[in-house]
Chains A and B, each alone.
Chain A
């Protein structure tokens, strides 16, 4: 008996936090669960109910989930993921060299300040106003088509410039470019120039320096750029609405349509899918970067 008692692990007793950090963490977790996690769970729960005459029927059912297949809404889910992944990749591919130039290549402080200011301008303009302008530029009677037809490059206007996958991707790219650039720019700015010089001094080529010095150190910013771009893209609805013109139906619009008809269970099911995809995507990111990069370093690099 005594041996058994000695071999069993000591029971951990719950105690009040002894430090300010402990208290803060506890309160933060409590608030986070109450304000974020609990509402999400409630939303998911609603997907297992149904509607009758604009009122919720609180009898558990899987009808909403099966209807997602029948109505083709699952196609919309896949299409949304496709758009979010492809536009995020494109953003990062363009944002990284741009941020590298801005952080390390641009020698003029005035130019750098000017570019950063320009990148922040979209945040001050309502997204709808910013996006709708493109309709008069990309339309069949728009500026681009008029120029192309007028210059004789094409015979008739290009219809695919607007209300197409292209126009939606284009609109998304413009909207989320700053959110992809800023995290990468910030981490690149924090890289000590002496490290790069040391790499060259040791005989590394530009490509080797980029691959073995800059990229690993910039990884927190790249991951941040991916997160800040992919997450809002999963819920984007202004670009598909205004530039897709109903030809490119994504999750945000599908949720909106369900809400317009007061179909809370469908809206809840689709919102649950969005959350699940985001959690899955973050998990994939964490697993694929395991051993090469710590997620916590996203924040360490800021405070040095």
Chain B
């Protein structure tokens, strides 16, 4: 079996251009064309999912003295891996942010550098709970490749009146309202992405003892087939109204009340609340837990070779700190490591008591969801992802 070597060529396209550039720069400097000693603001470039981006990027600059230029990408694992493996994005970017799991492939292959847990700039690492720093977001094969920066436990949103649930939103709701409830038949929306829908359906069948499944996020071919058989049966029974493909679609489905229950991201409910107020749906505490996920920040090896290590660790430490935590919780309902620092930051920064209480509530909410024993960790780079995608097509085609 021969695989493409994307990294270990003697000289690839980018390294050729780079060495050519170095030669030109050397020639230029020897002729006195390149001046030195011009004081410049430290600029780092990050590439990653938009959810990790601060609404106000100047906050990072003020806190760290480092300007972080963010190149956003969506949540497609394929796009991210293509940019990492084939486009060698580490040549141009200093920090990469994505769902935990990419380190399983990019770490051992030498694309990511190991995190230096003793780096003095990373002084919040020590106090960061093991739940985060020893999780699938950060670690692979005993080595730490990523700094966990935020996370949540994805489930679904529901309109309480449609399923006769308590409107205070504190009850645990079973996933059966998505798959097998006559009250919601034909008014259910699933995520079109198999790593969400197929995995959560597998978890439902696992928790309720219908199928023997070890890891809902990494189904064997036989398990994937069995879960998709169930999905096809439910589809033919007219359970699902639609499959959505984007955050905007999630919000629209909620606002138009096209469905009563939908798999979605929690920020979609947050967004709907802006216009729907009390009419907005509730983001569920699911009986079956849901899908735990987290974004990690990773260092491309080339970034350290460029001598950007110290600045990078400053920014990684910022991600573990109170300001980043507070704004992520306020704007997106996301939590992450060191939430107590977020609350502390909000209090010191004069946020209203209502906002501080909301941060505490977010912390409690995510702790409750994350500690549900039925919840499972997402695996965007699952070894059986290819099989799962192929089987999911059978559901889509049915």
Contacts and interface: CB of A to CB of B under 8 A. Distances in A.
B381 A246 contact: no
What DSSP secondary structure best describes chain A's contact surface?
Answer: mixed
Nearest to B394: A72
Interface of A: 51-59, 67, 70-73, 75-76, 79, 132, 135-136, 139-142, 159, 162-163, 241, 245-247, 249, 253-254, 257-263, 266
Contacts of B256: 135-136, 139, 141-142
B386 A263 contact: yes
A132 B245 CA distance: 13
B276 interface: no
Interface of B: 1-4, 6, 76-79, 81-82, 85, 105, 186, 190, 192-193, 240-245, 252, 256-258, 381, 385-386, 389-394, 396-398
Given A59-B1, A71-B391, A260-B78, A51 B386 contact: yes
A163 B239 CA distance: 13
A246 B242 contact: yes
A253 B258 CA distance: 22
Contacts of B381: 54
B78 A135 contact: no
Given A56-B4, A71-B391, 13 more contacts: A56-B3, A57-B2, A71-B393, A141-B256, A163-B242, A247-B240, A253-B396, A257-B396, A260-B76, A260-B78, A260-B193, A262-B78, A262-B81
A246 B240 CA distance: 10
A72 B78 contact: no
Nearest to B76: A260
Chain B CB within 10 A, most for which of A53, A241, A246: A246
Nearest to B189: A245
Given A52-B1, A71-B394, A262-B81, A245 B243 contact: yes
A66 to B, nearest CB: 11
A53 to B, nearest CB: 6
Contacts of A253: 396
A263 B390 CA distance: 10
Contacts of A254: 393, 396-397
Contact of B2 (A58, A75, A246, A263): A58
Contacts of A241: 245
B1 A141 contact: no
A67 B390 contact: yes
